[in-house]
Amino acid sequence: MKKVLLSTFLFTLFSQVSFAQNQTTVVTIKNNADAPTINKNIYGHFAEHLGRSIYGGFFVGDTSKIPNTKGVRNDIVKALKELKIPNLRWPGGCFADTYHWKDGIGPQQERPTIVNQWWGGVTEDNSFGTHDFLNMCELLGAEPYLSGNVGSGTVQELADWVQYTNFSGKSPMSDLRKKNGRTEPWKVKFWGIGNEAWGCGGNMTAEYYANEYRKYATFMSDWENTGGITRIASGSNSADYNWTEVLMKNIPINMLGGVGVHHYAVIDWAKKGDGVNFTEDGYFHTMQSALKMEELVTKHSAIMDKYDPEKKVAMIVDEWGAWYEVEKGTNPGFLYQQNTMRDAVLAGATLNIFNNHADRVRMANLAQCVNVLQAVILTDKAKMITTPTYHVMKMYSVHQDAKLLPIDFQSPLYTFNGESLPAVSASASKDKSGLVHISLVNVDAKNKNKIEIDVKDLGVKGFTGTIITSAKLQDYNSFDAPNKIVPTVFKGFENKKGKLEITIPPFSVVVLEGK
């Protein structure tokens, strides 16, 4: 009798698993004329004075043998331009609230030094400053996003920085800019008023910071440039919904261009796990933390809607990404980690969330761009490689400034040790030339997923596809094998009478283009 029961149980279990692996997810795409545009700034990046992000990363100095333009690496500029980088946030992060911008202007040899108290206790010589960063943004074709010092700075200091960078007439700060070699202003649009004011930016309460924000914002004026400046409040730490509530309630909408949100995919802050040598347990719980972004964006949006039903204020997710233990043998304060297929899946799923909430999320900044956390570029002296995350963001760049095509589907589940996550992530858009792009992610670490999409009403005749995947979740691009993971042609789909039938492999990211 026991053998019969066991056989029946195993047969039932096998049948359920087989069904789960062979079921088809039906995705409906709506061609909605009222849908929002996916702001290109969702695909922004972040460069803090941290580890080898600036020095040894972006900036090698104009005497370096590494090909550069005024000290900025040419290979990095080329790679980021190919990525269509829309904006870059600087100088922090925690570093921003100890940074005094006047230390980084004028002749380099005359600039004072400070100790970077946040990241490794290294000496910061300020050889990379305002001119260097803003000129680099011009090379990149990217909008600069400057984080102002509220923690240890003054209202006058930040107001002077706005005038220095943006005013073309005669004033003390524009005269100083011209004296330092820049005649025309850069016209910086995006300004962060402090960073993580609840933590390293001053350990403030939400009520206290709201008042500080109002004071700083009052004196940051730019009457000369069309549209003025976008002032961005230091936002919540992940699920701190009270922080968003207090800011939206206490700061007038006409003073508020954006409200930030920071969220990192972390298994456990006390034990973050290895960036490469991880198990499926490590993968599952990292993705569990990353996919919480859907809940965070939804709940913060609901609070913002109470006070701003017209959605004038943008949600700015200006720090996001995976955070692991540093690579063995590297400085713990430099936050250098490798980038595997896990990070590619995480990036694709997160960007789908941002795309689908484009009515409110209008800027985001991956942390960080070069050599820090979930970087898109890694360097080793003269060598440079692009990571799996880079390739996903390049594949997804087709969504920039395209009209969102809202989607509807019920995701199958990826189950591990009794816990479950949505296995399929998706978003879609239609650009100004009429091209339709559908981005799909299979989060499941073991099973392929079948997806069906009705595309008859999208006005396209045929599709092509690109995929990024690899043999193992732990695979990554190294300096010895820089092209181990690169996008390839995806052929795992058929268009049958206006219905796309797609089979997407485990832990992979796909972008389909219809024209």
Structure token digits, residue 291:
């996919």
To 10 degrees, what angle do helices 172-179 and 155-166 make? Answer: 60
Phi, psi (deg, nearest 5) at residue 74:
-70, -35
Rg, C-alpha atoms of the chain: 24
Contact 273, 337 (CB under 8 A): no
Contact 105, 180 (CB under 8 A): yes
Three-state DSSP state, 145: strand
Catalytic residue among 110, 196, 245, 452: 196
Structure token digits, residue 272:
């973050």
Three-state DSSP state, 208: helix
Three-state DSSP state, 30: coil
Q: DSSP assignment of 65-132, as one string?
A: SS-EETTEEHHHHHHHHHTT--EEEES-SGGGGG--GGGGSS-GGG---EE-TTTTTPEE---S-HHH
d(CA 360, CA 114): 38
| Residue indicated by tokens 């909430």 | 357
d(CA 79, CA 75): 6
Cα 484-52-287 angle, rounded to 5 deg: 55
Structure token digits, residue 359:
């009515």
Q: Is 319 a catalytic residue?
A: yes
User: What are the respective helix, strand and coil percentages of the chain, to the nearest 5?
Assistant: 30, 25, 40
d(CA 355, CA 404): 7
Q: Is 196 a catalytic residue?
A: yes
Catalytic residue among 48, 319, 327, 419: 319
**With the CA atoms of 52, 49, 399 and 411 taken in that order, what torsion angle do they form, in degrees rounded to the nearest 10?**
80
d(CA 237, CA 232): 15
Contact 444, 414 (CB under 8 A): yes
d(CA 344, CA 414): 17
Q: DSSP assignment of 374-386, as one string?
A: S-SEEEETTEEEE
**CA neighbor of 132 nearest in space, from 83, 175, 77:** 77
**CA neighbor of 451 nearest in space, from 410, 514, 502, 512:** 502
Structure token digits, residue 37:
């545009």
Residues tagged active-site = 196, 319
